[in-house]
Structure 1
Amino acid sequence: MAERPLRLGMAGGGPGAFIGPVHRMAARLDDRFAVVAGALSRSIGKSREQGARWGIAADRLYASAEEMIAAEAARDDGIEAIAITTPNASHAAITIAALRAGIAVICDKPMTATLAEAEAVAAVVAQTGVPFALTHAYTGYAMVREARARIAAGAIGPVRKVVAEYPQGWLSEPIEGTNAQAGWRTDPALAGAGGAIGDIGVHALQMAEYVSGLRVTELCAALSRVVPGRRLDDDCNVLLRFGRGVPGVLMASQISAGERNGIRVRVYGERGGFEWAQEVPDRLILRDADNSLRILHDGAPGLSDAARAATRLPPGHPEGLIEAFATLYRDFADAIGGVPGILDGRLPGITDGLRAMRFIELAVRSSETRRWLSFDGETL
Structure 2
Amino acid sequence: MAKVLNYGMVGGGPDAFIGDAHRRAISLDESARLVAGVFSRNAEKSKKMGEVLHIEEERCYKDYETMALEEAKREDGIDFVVVVTPNASHYEICKAFLNVGIHVVCDKPVTTTYEKAVELQKLAEEKSLLFMVTYTYMGHVTAKYARDLIASGAIGDVRAVMAEYPQGWLAFEDNVGGKQGEWRCDPAQSGGVNCLGDLGTHVENAVATMTGLKIRRLLAKMDVIVPGRKLDDNDSVLIEFDNGATGIFWTSQVAIGCDNSLRVRIYGSEGTILWFQETPEKITVIDKNGTIREVHRGYGDIDSKAAKYGRLPAGHTEGWLEAMGNLYRSFTECVSAKEEGTFTEEMIDYPTVKDGVEGLAFVEACLKSSQNGNVWVEL
TM-score range, shorter chain: over 0.9
CA deviation map 1:49-101 (0-9, x unaligned): 22222222222112222221112112111111000000011111111110111
- CA distance in 2 between counterparts of 1:306 and 1:18 reads 31
Segment drifting more, 360-369 vs 48-57: 48-57
- The runs of 5 or more residues in structure 1 that have no matched partner are 376-380
Matches within 5 A, 1:287-302: 287-302=286-301
Structure 2 counterpart of 1:197: 196
Moved over 6 A (4+): none
Structure 1 counterpart of 2:319: 320
Compared CA separation, residues 66 and 219, structure 1 to 2 (3 A): same
Structure 2 counterpart of 1:235: 234
What secondary structure is seen at the aligned counterpart in 2 of 1:160?
strand
Structure 1 counterpart of 2:345: 341
Deviation at 1:12, TM superposition (A): 0.6
Structure 1 counterpart of 2:359: 356
2:148 aligned partner, one-letter code: A
1:15 aligns with 2:19: no
Structure 1 counterpart of 2:182: 183
- CA distance in 1 between counterparts of 2:169 and 2:3 reads 40
- CA distance in 2 between counterparts of 1:257 and 1:59 reads 47
Deviation at 1:177, TM superposition (A): 6.0
- Using the size of structure 2 for normalisation, the TM-score is 0.96
2:365 aligned partner, one-letter code: L
1:166 aligns with 2:170: no
Matches within 5 A, 1:103-114: 103-114=102-113
Segment drifting more, 10-19 vs 328-337: 328-337
Q: Count the aligned residue pairs.
A: 373
**Contact 2:331 2:350 (C-alpha < 8 Å) held by counterparts:** yes
Deviation at 1:4, TM superposition (A): 2.2
Deviation at 1:306, TM superposition (A): 2.1
Segment drifting more, 332-341 vs 69-78: 332-341
Segment drifting more, 285-294 vs 147-156: 285-294
CA deviation map 1:178-212 (0-9, x unaligned): 71111100111111121100011000000011011
Q: CA RMSD in A?
A: 1.3
What secondary structure is seen at the aligned counterpart in 1 of 2:317?
coil
- The runs of 5 or more residues in structure 2 that have no matched partner are none
Amino-acid identity (%)? 39
Matches within 5 A, 1:1-380: 2-175=1-174, 179-336=178-335, 337-338=337-338, 339-342=343-346, 346-369=349-372, 370-375=374-379
Deviation at 1:290, TM superposition (A): 2.4
What secondary structure is seen at the aligned counterpart in 1 of 2:345?
coil
- CA distance in 1 between counterparts of 2:279 and 2:189 reads 32
- CA distance in 2 between counterparts of 1:109 and 1:287 reads 32
**Contact 2:299 2:314 (C-alpha < 8 Å) held by counterparts:** yes
What secondary structure is seen at the aligned counterpart in 2 of 1:219?
strand
- CA distance in 1 between counterparts of 2:303 and 2:363 reads 33
What secondary structure is seen at the aligned counterpart in 1 of 2:111?
coil
- Using the size of structure 1 for normalisation, the TM-score is 0.95
What secondary structure is seen at the aligned counterpart in 1 of 2:121?
helix
